[in-house]
Chain A
Amino acid sequence: MSKHIYSDSSNPVIRVQDLRKDFGYLQVLSGISFDLYKGEFLTVFGPNGAGKTTLIKILSGLTRPTSGSATVTGFDALEGNVELRNNIGVISHATCLYPDLTALENLLFYAKLYGLDNPEERANLSIKEVGLELRRYDPIRTFSRGMQQRVAIARATLHDPSVLFLDEPFTGLDLQATSELKDRLRGLHTEKRTILMTTHDISCGLEMCDRVAIQNRGKFSLFESVNCIEQSNFKNLYTKSIQ
């Protein structure tokens, strides 16, 4: 059993050291290191195949790295720790929702899996928070992509995780749904919650984050506070970084 070392704000919530991941001969992550502290919001930009999703999968315990270390809220992410999963929520373009179940049944299912007290109450509250209480008895397959993503947010935050991983959450959303999702994410970005998001959407990504990183060929070519970056010039900086 791993030791829980996360206790105060001086310890990074996410600590990644020299993380490497190979798929056969293909090196997807080639030595990523960074620290992220409580309440920080890091946006990772990068082209397709840069290893952004692999990074999130390793940090959430879904995949083991080839070498290196990663701790999230003090738990070793490499051990596939059950306690670690109590502290994280993951939102990706895959909603992880059962299409034949209603929105409420989906949330009730996850609330029970997470062992939450009063699962019915939590599921109802979560669906209300994302503004879909009137559709709670409808099957997920009848929902639009934007509505499904809102239920996915409710699913990922049911257990009030202290760390959120967002893997290209805006994929497939129209302008209205993107705007709603941004509002919801802003609401989730509190002092207590640390967020790591990967996205291709430069304006969305920069708008919400405190720190910004550019990942290319399995490495961070930039990791800075958003205040140190000239936002109007970021597109040029990004293009240069990935060349």
Chain B
Amino acid sequence: MKKYFSQVTTIIWKDFITEIKTRELFSSMFIFALLVVIIFIFSINLSLIKASEVGPGVLWVAFLFAGTIGLNRSFMLEKENGCLQGLLLAPMDRTALYFGKLVSNFVFLLIMEIFTLPLFMVFFNIDLLPHLLPLLYVIFVGTLGFCAVGTLLSSLSANLKARDIMLPILLYPLIIPIIIGSVRMTGQVLAGEPLSSMMNWVSLTLCFDIIYIAISIMVIDFVLEE
């Protein structure tokens, strides 16, 4: 078990050190999220629609699209120079590779989301500070589910010719329950409701997180096979 965790942390270490050197993933995701928020702010008349009603949707669309860029890039890096083959030849359980990539993707996305929140707050003129803790919880749960299924599908699409197109086509239908849950919870959090009043959405999102992680553990061996 110690060896397993060591392998997971080694993959995370490698992803972080690569990102620190290149800054490719964070910069592309953050700029994309920022652009989505800016496009929406110019296309929505906030004097007619309440920002707290439309804001959660905009926020999650930005997270979703920017996150897809990150997920696509995640396994593309492994394909360069045949590195994925090097990982598959290492004496480790392939779930260790999945969890390593999942944690890296999850942390990169969370960082991008944390940087996007203040800009969202300024552009939509919504004070997030009173709701920060429940909002971070919602983002944590939603992003975990997104990364759980996204990491699995990005490993699958990495072996496909039309990988850039295939990832969103495969991913978006599967994350609909998580995104609906996350948008609803974010809306209710911004309306000042406590998390206890939205336990149905919290449970639904958590259930899908667990289901997607469990499925990924079961199928990752077959997905990574050449």
Q: Please, how many angstroms separate the alpha-carbon atoms of A101 and B17 in the complex?
A: 8
* Shortest beta-carbon distance from A45 to chain B in Å: 23
Q: Please, how many angstroms separate the alpha-carbon atoms of A139 and B21 in the complex?
A: 10
Q: Please, how many angstroms separate the alpha-carbon atoms of A3 and B89 in the complex?
A: 20
Q: A85-B89, A109-B14, A113-B92 are in contact. Are A98 and B7 (CB under 8 A)?
A: no
B87 contacts across to A, CB distance below 8 A: 113
Q: Please, how many angstroms separate the alpha-carbon atoms of A105 and B20 in the complex?
A: 13
Contact (Cβ within 8 A) B80 A88:
no
Q: Does residue A133 face the partner (Cβ distance < 8 Å to B)?
A: no
Q: Is the interface of B mostly helix, strand, loop or mixed?
A: helix
Interface magnitude class on chain B: 20 to 34
B18 contacts across to A, CB distance below 8 A: 98, 100-101
Contact (Cβ within 8 A) B21 A100:
yes
Tell which of B14, B77, B81 touches A94, judged by Cβ atoms closer than 8 Å.
B81
Q: Please, how many angstroms separate the alpha-carbon atoms of A105 and B17 in the complex?
A: 9
Contact (Cβ within 8 A) A90 B21:
no
Q: A62-B85, A110-B86, A110-B90 are in contact. Are A99 and B80 (CB under 8 A)?
A: yes
* Shortest beta-carbon distance from B76 to chain A in Å: 12
B3 contacts across to A, CB distance below 8 A: 115
Contact flags B1-31 to A (C-beta < 8 A → 1, else 0) = 0010011001101100110011000000000
Contact (Cβ within 8 A) B81 A100:
no
Tell which of B7, B86, B92 touches A96, judged by Cβ atoms closer than 8 Å.
B86
Q: Does residue A83 face the partner (Cβ distance < 8 Å to B)?
A: yes
Q: Please, how many angstroms separate the alpha-carbon atoms of A57 and B18 in the complex?
A: 28
Q: Which of A61, A80, A96 has the most CB of B within 10 A?
A: A96
* Shortest beta-carbon distance from A147 to chain B in Å: 13
Contact (Cβ within 8 A) A83 B6:
no
For chain A, residues 57 to 87, give those with C-beta under 8 angstroms from any C-beta of chain B: 57, 60-64, 80, 82-83, 85-86
Contact (Cβ within 8 A) A94 B225:
no
Contact (Cβ within 8 A) B22 A86:
no
Contact (Cβ within 8 A) B17 A62:
no
Contact (Cβ within 8 A) A101 B14:
yes
Q: Does residue B173 face the partner (Cβ distance < 8 Å to A)?
A: no
A83 contacts across to B, CB distance below 8 A: 91
Q: Please, how many angstroms separate the alpha-carbon atoms of A85 and B3 in the complex?
A: 15
- The residue on B at minimum CB distance from A86 is B91
Q: Please, how many angstroms separate the alpha-carbon atoms of A97 and B18 in the complex?
A: 12
Contact (Cβ within 8 A) B91 A99:
no
Contact (Cβ within 8 A) B83 A82:
no
A4 contacts across to B, CB distance below 8 A: none
User: Could you list some 23 contacts between A and B, CB below 8 A?
Assistant: A62-B85, A62-B226, A63-B225, A63-B226, A82-B93, A85-B90, A88-B89, A90-B85, A94-B81, A94-B82, A96-B82, A98-B18, A98-B77, A98-B80, A100-B22, A101-B14, A101-B18, A105-B17, A109-B10, A112-B13, A114-B91, A115-B91, A140-B81
B contacts, CB < 8 Å to A: 3, 6-7, 10-11, 13-14, 17-18, 21-22, 77, 80-83, 85-93, 221, 225-226
A contacts, CB < 8 Å to B: 57, 60-64, 80, 82-83, 85-86, 88, 90, 92, 94-101, 105, 109-110, 112-115, 139-140, 155
